[in-house]
Amino acid sequence: MRKYLQTFLNPKDFYAAQRPILRVSFLAGMTPFTVVKGPTELMMLRCTPFGYINSSVHVILFCSCYVNALLKGETITRFFFRTDISTLGDVLQFTIGITALFMTFFCSIFQRNKLIKSFHALASIDRRFKEIGMETNYKSTLHYNLLVICTKVIITSLYLIVCLAVFISSDTYPSVTTWMAFLLPYFMMSMVIVLFLCFVNQTKHRFHLLNKVLKHLKQAALEKRISPQRRPSYWHAIKIQRPLGIASVYSNNDKSMPDVVATVAEIQDALCEACSCAEDYFTIQMLTIVTIVFVIIVFNSYYVLDALLGSTSRDTPFSKGQFAMFFLCQAMVYGFGVFNIVYGSSSLMQENDNIGSNVHKLLNAAAGADSELAGKLMQLSLQMVHRKVRFSACGLFSLDFSLIFTLVGAATTYLVILIQYELSMDESRHETIARAFLGNETW
């Protein structure tokens, strides 16, 4: 057991560091492949029959819960109140939830090669880093993955405790299938987000390593300009010695600066290709997640306003405080998930964009010193113009911070529409009562 823990906590390769994330997603039915030990004692990805069966069982289980809840006409929202707007919200959430279910498992099975290709590309890139004296710290990678998993477990546990506490305190007990139909979209969303953050963090770290290499080269170029008495061959052979403070058996290899820049360009291109494959895998899932979050934020905001300012909560066993706590908690956990996606993808894109600025800084520092080096830097600068990292939801919108403002603006607009609809319904109801009263009085 002790030996297993030592091996687990000290990963030797890329897949060993990703093992917790990939194992959890495998057991949850989100991916049909898992991490296994290869013939060379290194980890690798492999699709298994159990993976396909497990994913199919999860689909059948989830569909059964949705169908059962639909046949019973029982949803969590209906325990709080029943109006035309709440019915519309239930229909939209049910439709989007079942669609997200099918699309998520569809992508996990039929688009699996895209994600496998992305992870394989990252593992291959690590071998290229060793050529320029860099070695990835897989231990920190493992710690980040464990932190993401633990954070999601804590948030999910708190969310479940709040939901159960609200219903138990009101002596209201929905069926198990109703609870599962209510919670399944969040569980699916959480697993997709964890897997997405895992990939984004690894790619961002490798872009960060490229920026470190370029900064080290710039420092070497500046030292050459300050100390011209150095040997002429200094420009043709530099020594990259542990630029990140990470020990490496390759860190004492001499490599010419143009060769280092060429390797940086190849690694940057490979990272962009890996991101492109990952975007193809996650794009539909990101669209369904953003759609679910948008619908929940709009309707939950309306429910809370109606409960606090209206009289809806008087006809239910829930107090206004319980009402607001339940729906606000749901909106917050879903909104936090979208924020994680936006923050992760934005930080990755920013790290990639920093390469362009570091290339030009190095070009200015090495101006007039080496024509071959200047040519390589110009090629890399041109490559940065055409090889950018972008994540989007089926091309409809980018997964950056502008998405937050778009969601807030659209949610506010639709919230106003719902409030106006409710007010118009109240006015028509009052007019009907007045006409009936006046008619009876005249008679």
Q: 363, 374 in Cβ contact below 8 A?
A: yes
Token pair listed for 18: 């990703």
- Predicted TM-score (pTM) of the model is 0.84
- Chain CA centroid to CA 210, Å: 23
Q: Burial letters for 243-264: b for 16+ Cβ neighbours within 10 Å, e otherwise?
A: bbeeebeebeeebbbbbbbbbb
* Per-residue pLDDT tens digits for 8-64: 777 788 888 888 888 888 888 888 887 777 666 566 777 888 888 888 888 888 888
Cβ burial of 65 (10 Å; 0-12, 13-18, 19+) is: buried
* Helix 320-365 and helix 138-169, axial crossing angle in degrees, nearest 10: 160
- 174-216 pLDDT, tens per residue? 888 888 888 888 888 899 999 999 999 999 999 999 999 988 8
Greater pLDDT, 98 or 118: 118
**pLDDT computed for residue 239 by the predictor:** 46
For 413-441, b/e burial (b = at least 16 CB within 10 A) is: ebbeebbeebeeeeeeeeeeeeeeeeeee
Q: Between these two residues, 346 and 1, which has the higher pLDDT value? A: 346
Which amino acid, 396? L
- The residues spanned by each domain of the chain are 56-208+238-442
Please say if the pLDDT value at position 154 is more than 90: yes
How many residues belong to the chain? 443
Angle at 151 (CA atoms; ends 337, 50), nearest 5 degrees: 85
State the maximum Cα–Cα separation within the chain, in Å, rounded to a whole number: 113
d(CA 439, CA 406): 49
Among 272-286, 365-379, 408-422, name the one with the lowest average pLDDT: 365-379
Alpha-carbon distance of 319 to 301, in angstroms, equals 17
CB–CB of 182/63 below 8 Å?
A: no
